[in-house]
């Protein structure tokens, strides 16, 4: 009996310590004290590294590196696979026209891809993302940044730009022009071709020959009806 | 033989048991509180950046698309932090003398990267790919919150596994049509569940598979 007994104060204090220890363990577990698994010894994209003198973990290709043509990257968007006739990868790096917009001495006159609704839809999406800050949604050169002090780029709806080749538009996106920086690192070549196709559609939307308009729409354009501002007023006029 | 314990020991034992129970509950509550606290998950805490870049100005004010800067978000696991060249595309002309943009101009001149402070950092044992979430209709603001209203960027969600699972268990509550994925003003429609179930089917989301451990821990 004597061996099993203990002081009451001793009993409670020991109980407390056990509870406390258990709780502390639980809390530490909850707080996740495993930084070794959390941050594993490998580098993520754009991470800092003390190993290289420039402090970057991501490395540039060695100067003079030539892209190997054997394994080309796949299309990033299935759109182009369909448009280019089920081709699974982007064209060979040897295909200058695809990567530069040039053909022979000058620029490729028409688009690299056959123009389709899918190509235009892709071009519109990428144009809206990439080009509208300066060129505006209508291509008139009044994008949002021009209101913040960026000089207006030329409108697409001028004769000079209506007459240039698709390959020229591609070349400007690729190499930049005047104050416009190159978009080669931000927009893939296939998307630049799609944007060129969409710019053509934008130009057409503001400069369509009357003969290409369907007959009923043509009639409405040639004999415009007076615009009725308020339907309530017009019904009152009938009485 | 005299009693070993005095009568008062009963009170001590009862008090001891009661206070142990109390202590456990209090500690549990404290732990739960800490779990939800920004002190632990750094939610809603804007961190200092070398340049006080405002998403509110660029996205909310100028209406720029997320993909203008985060170019690889729909084609890679990593959304991409824009290089200095992207900043300079506009800031070679706009606010060229602003003191707050000096680090950008210095970076451009010297070719040294700007060291942004990371806000969203998943543990290395979690596999995450931006592009598949975009492709299946998870919008930017679902995870990144009202980014168009953030002056300095903060973490809008706690990124706990339970939070991930809310959507992995019932994606129909969150999925949007493809043309609304980058729309920062999108609000779930009244018939979200109905629409969401349609998108789950249309985008071939295999819901049962989304809660497999190896989907994220691979």
pLDDT in tens, A40-79: 888 888 888 888 888 889 888 899 887 776 567 888 888 9
pLDDT for B78 equals: 93
- What mean pLDDT do residues A3-23 have? 59
Establish if B196 belongs to a structural domain: yes
pLDDT for B117 equals: 93
Please tell me which residue of chain A has the smallest CA distance to B113: A56
CB contact under 8 A, B27 and A46: no
pLDDT for A233 equals: 52
Q: Please, which residues have CB within 8 angstroms of residue A239's CB and are 6 or more apart in sequence?
A: none
Establish if B131 belongs to a structural domain: yes
Domain extents in chain A: 78-212
- What mean pLDDT do residues A203-216 have? 89
* Domain spanning A78-212, CATH architecture: Orthogonal Bundle (1.10)
Residue B84's CB is within 10 A of a number of other CB atoms, namely: 20
CA distance A88 to chain B (A): 16
Query: In chain A, what residues touch B16 (CB-CB under 8 Å)?
Result: 11-12, 15-16
Contact of A227 with A233, CB cutoff 8 Å: no
Residue B108's CB is within 10 A of a number of other CB atoms, namely: 17
Beta strands (DSSP E) in chain A are: 102-103, 106-107
Query: Percent of chain B scored above 70 by pLDDT?
Result: 100
Contact of A91 with A98, CB cutoff 8 Å: yes
Q: Which residues pair with B153 in a beta bridge?
A: none
What domain range is B173 assigned to?
A: 55-62+120-216
Residue with tokens 């099993």: A4
A186 touching B (Cβ < 8 Å): yes
Q: If we measure between CA atoms, which residue out of A123, A67, A60, A122 comes closest to residue A95? A: A67
Q: Is A79 helix (H, G, I), strand (E, B) or coil?
A: helix
Q: Which residues pair with A177 in a beta bridge?
A: A180
Establish if B175 belongs to a structural domain: yes
Note the residue count of chain A: 239
Query: Which bin fits A111, alpha (ψ -120 to 50), beta or left (φ > 0)?
Result: beta
pLDDT for A30 equals: 59
Q: What is the mean pLDDT of chain A?
A: 85
pLDDT for A26 equals: 65
pLDDT band of residue A237 (cuts 50, 70, 90) is: very low
CA distance B124 to chain A (A): 5
For the record, the structure tokens of B42 come out as 């750094």
Q: Is A180 helix (H, G, I), strand (E, B) or coil?
A: strand
Number of structural domains found in chain B: 1
pLDDT in tens, B173-200: 999 999 999 999 999 999 999 999 999 9
pLDDT for A2 equals: 44
pLDDT band of residue A150 (cuts 50, 70, 90) is: very high
Establish if B197 belongs to a structural domain: yes
H or E element, residue B67: helix B66-69
pLDDT for B94 equals: 94
């Amino acid at each position: 009996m004597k061996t099993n007994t203990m002081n009451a104060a001793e009993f409670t204090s020991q109980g407390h310590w056990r509870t406390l220890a258990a709780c502390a363990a639980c809390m530490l577990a909850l707080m996740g004290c495993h930084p070794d698994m959390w941050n594993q010894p490998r580098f993520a994209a754009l991470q800092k590294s003390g190993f290289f003198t420039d402090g970057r973990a991501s490395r540039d290709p060695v100067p003079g590196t030539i892209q190997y043509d054997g394994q080309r990257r796949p299309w990033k968007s299935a759109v182009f696979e369909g448009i280019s006739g089920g081709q699974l990868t982007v064209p060979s790096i040897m295909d200058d026209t695809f990567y530069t917009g040039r053909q022979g001495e000058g620029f490729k006159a028409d688009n690299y891809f056959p123009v389709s609704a899918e190509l235009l839809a892709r071009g519109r999406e990428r144009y809206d993302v990439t080009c509208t800050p300066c060129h505006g949604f209508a291509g008139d050169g009044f994008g949002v940044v021009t209101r913040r002090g960026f000089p207006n780029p030329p409108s697409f709806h001028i004769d000079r730009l209506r007459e240039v080749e698709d390959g020229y538009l591609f070349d400007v996106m690729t190499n930049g022009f005047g104050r416009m920086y190159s978009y080669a690192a931000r927009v893939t070549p296939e998307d630049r071709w799609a944007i060129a196709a969409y710019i053509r559609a934008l130009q057409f939307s503001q400069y369509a020959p009357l003969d290409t308009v369907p007959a009923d729409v043509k009639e409405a354009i040639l004999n415009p009806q007076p615009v009725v501002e308020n339907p309530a007023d017009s019904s009152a006029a009938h009485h | 033989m005299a009693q070993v314990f005095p009568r008062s020991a009963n009170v001590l034992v009862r008090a001891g048991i009661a206070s142990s129970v109390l202590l456990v509950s209090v500690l549990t509550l404290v732990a739960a509180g800490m779990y939800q606290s920004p002190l632990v998950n750094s939610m809603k805490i804007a961190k200092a950046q070398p340049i006080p870049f405002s998403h509110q100005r660029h996205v909310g004010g100028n209406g720029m698309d997320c993909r203008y800067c985060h170019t690889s978000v729909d084609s890679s696991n990593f959304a991409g932090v824009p290089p200095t060249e992207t900043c300079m595309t506009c800031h070679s002309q706009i606010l060229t003398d602003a003191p707050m943009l000096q680090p950008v101009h210095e970076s451009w001149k010297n070719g040294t990267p700007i060291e942004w402070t990371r806000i969203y950092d998943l543990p290395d044992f979690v596999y995450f790919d931006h592009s598949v979430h975009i492709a299946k209709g998870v919008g930017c603001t679902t995870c990144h919150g009202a980014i168009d209203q953030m002056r300095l960027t903060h973490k809008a969600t706690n990124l706990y596994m339970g939070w991930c699972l809310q959507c992995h268990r019932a994606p129909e509550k969150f999925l949007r049509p493809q043309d609304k994925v980058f729309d920062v003003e999108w609000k779930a429609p009244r018939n979200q569940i109905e629409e969401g179930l349609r998108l789950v089917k249309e985008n071939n989301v295999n819901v049962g598979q989304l809660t497999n451990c190896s989907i994220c821990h691979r």
